Amino acid sequence: MVCSSCASGTIDSLADKRWRRVLWIALAINLAMFAGEIVAGVASGSRSLQADALDFLGDAANYAISLGVAGMALQWRSRAAVLKGGTILLFGIYVLITTLIAALGDGVPRAETMGAVGLLALLANGGVALMLYRYRSGDANMRSVWICSRNDAIGNLAVLAAAAGVVGTGTQWPDLIVAGIMASLGIVGGSQILRRALGELGQRNAVRPEVSLPEVTSLIN
């Protein structure tokens, strides 16, 4: 599931050194888990692991954009959001297509890899959520962090359920169904981010040089 609202914070909270360090660690963990789930997903033949990696990619982009906010011009923030939305959209399409192609065959993904990596993903998301909560900075939006972490956990649990389903049925179908749902949600989420960011860019070019702070925070989320 692609969160659209992880790790928000305004420029004030980003001036807090400790909070910036927390965001850097969260960025590193999310990037590592993105790569880890892709590699494990390809190696084990699991599409749901690859689909779950989408969320780590989106979250990593959120942390990177949050970290860049203090020094970034508004237009570059919109461009970064375009890049983020576009990448998530393309990646979601890739996972959905490979899932549909896999449905034509009858390979069975390795359930033990799915279970182990799904559990690791759950621990990584839980650890990041605890860290964000523990070191939250004054105006950090903890509600969005909570919603985001909850959605992340639902995605990880769906991978674990798919692994159990693969063991139970001896087929790839539980993996494909979970992957299909998650990739579709990623495509929808990516399109929404992309459309909003493109809209912001167009609006700014057309009418107003000034953008209010709420719009800035909605952009980086």
List of residues contacting Zn ion (CB under 5 A): 3, 55, 59, 148, 152
Question: Shortest approach of Zn ion to residue 73 CB, angstroms?
Answer: 26
Q: For residues 19 and 9, is the Cβ–Cβ distance under 8 A?
A: yes
212: number of Cβ within 10 Å: 9
Which position has the token pair 């033990």? 112
Q: For residues 70 and 147, is the Cβ–Cβ distance under 8 A?
A: no
Residue whose CB is less far from Zn ion, 148 or 197: 148
Question: Shortest approach of Zn ion to residue 210 CB, angstroms?
Answer: 31
Tokens of 72: 């970034």
198: number of Cβ within 10 Å: 16
Residue whose CB is less far from Zn ion, 26 or 148: 148
Question: Shortest approach of Zn ion to residue 171 CB, angstroms?
Answer: 29
Question: Shortest approach of Zn ion to residue 161 CB, angstroms?
Answer: 18
Residue whose CB is less far from Zn ion, 26 or 197: 26
Question: Shortest approach of Zn ion to residue 149 CB, angstroms?
Answer: 7
Residue whose CB is less far from Zn ion, 65 or 111: 65
Cα–Cα distances (Å) from 6 to 43, 44, 204, in that order, read 29, 29, 24
Residue 37 DSSP one-character state: H
Measured CA to CA, the distance from residue 199 to residue 169 in angstroms comes to 46
Residue whose CB is less far from Zn ion, 145 or 166: 145
Which residue's beta carbon is nearest to the bound Zn ion?
Answer: 3
Residue whose CB is less far from Zn ion, 152 or 200: 152
Which position has the token pair 């906010």? 69
User: Counting beta carbons within 10 angstroms of the beta carbon of residue 149, is it exposed (0 to 12), middle (13 to 18) or buried (19 or more)?
Assistant: buried
Measured CA to CA, the distance from residue 206 to residue 69 in angstroms comes to 23
Question: Shortest approach of Zn ion to residue 56 CB, angstroms?
Answer: 7
